[in-house]
Amino acid sequence: MLAKLFKLVTLGGGLALFVWLLADVDLEAVQENISVIGWFGAVAIVLAFSIGFFADVASWLLMFRSIVVNALWAWRLLLVQLVGEALNVVTPFGSLGGEPFKALLLKRHYDVSYREGTASLLLIQTVNSLAMAPFVLIGAVLISNRGVLSPVLEKALLISALVITAFMLMVFAALHMRALAILQQRLGQSRWADRLGRGLQAMRDVEEHLFTFVRHTPGRFATSFVFAFVNWFCGAVEMFLIFWFLGHPISMADAWMVEATIVLVRAATFFVPGHLGVQDGAITLIGQALTGSSEIGLTVALLRRGRELVWTAIGLAIGGWFGLKNPAPATKHP
């Protein structure tokens, strides 16, 4: 009950902030700015995002043990990823709403076990977070050097980036030390062994998958890390193109700074459905700081939101198509 109430409160707060943003700017000017983009600009922006999305899928593909790295499986994972990410946007569970559904689709339609599907999803989240750490850290340094935000905001973003980086270094170290295996061994000798045994065993199975991937296939791990970083970088390229086609070009360093700010804000507000309001407010604020126009800032936010809605609609349509398909027979993977 409290969780549902919290979701409703955060969603209401996000909606209120979004409405306030719309009421505080000249909407006619925003509409004129959007019309400047044109079809060529819209295609270029979507293409930049698509490259990052495909890089994310390629990173995920490298994490499976039982499937072949080929175009067929890349296509299958692309479809599943589209559906899962769409659900991440529309469900009231933040960025986790679509993850269980990805495992379900892999099992139901492609005969990938829940164990491997779940392990791969946890691993891609880990690798994405590891790749996010240097991206936001560089962005925070750029923000501090640029001096367009208030000192308080600059310090808050830098601290957030440092906290994320430190946490991911701890996670990476825990993988190498096999911390869950050690924890299971110690708890196995305690009175909690029976109650926690199954849960710890499941977590240890996942840890074994992660450990094997990192330690025994370093080439795959490094490649997946690079793909994950490309995904984050493409967000900065998308921002660069949006400002460019709006007629207010910014440097690539500034675009990196904008995207890093968005990533940090989204990470801090993961509990807000769709990051409604908070993401848009962050983009509007930093867009205004760079261009001197709140209308340009809100235009950038709306264009990013529009691209997300189009991508979400495609994912939901594919999800409906999956729903009409019969489950795949249990066969060995090609």
Domain boundaries, the chain: 38-324
Contacting residues for 162 by C-beta, under 8 A, at least 6 apart: 137, 140
Written as six digits, the tokens of 306 are 């529009």
Task: Give the per-residue pLDDT at 323.
Answer: 85
Q: How far apart are CA 25 and CA 48, in angstroms?
A: 28
DSSP secondary-structure letter at 328?
A: P
Q: Mean pLDDT lowest for which of 220-224, 253-257, 327-331?
A: 327-331
| Tokens found for residue 115 | 């164990």
Which pLDDT score is estimated for 115? 83
Distances 260 to 44, 129, 135, 203 between C-alpha atoms, Å: 21, 13, 7, 31
Q: Are 96 and 111 in contact (CB under 8 A)?
A: no
What is the band of 6 on the pLDDT scale with cuts at 50, 70, 90? very low
Contact 111, 253 (CB under 8 A): no
Which of the four pLDDT bands, split at 50, 70 and 90, describes residue 196? Answer: low
- Give the residue with greater pLDDT, 145 vs 199: 145
Q: What's the token pair of residue 243? A: 């400002």
Enter the pTM of the model: 0.83
Nearest Cα residue to 261 out of 143, 125, 131, 128: 143
Identify which of 283, 280, 281 has the alpha carbon closest to the alpha carbon of residue 255. 283
Q: Residue 268 pLDDT more than 60?
A: yes
User: Residue 204: is its pLDDT beyond 70?
Assistant: no
At 99-136, the pLDDT tens digits run: 888 999 999 999 898 888 888 888 898 899 899 999 99
pLDDT confidence tier of residue 21, bands split at 50, 70 and 90: low
The pLDDT confidence band at residue 70, using thresholds 50, 70 and 90, is very high
Chain centre distance of CA 72: 24
Cα–Cα distance, 41 to 60 (Å, whole number): 29
pLDDT of residue 72: 95
- Other C-beta atoms closer than 10 Å to the C-beta of 219 total 8
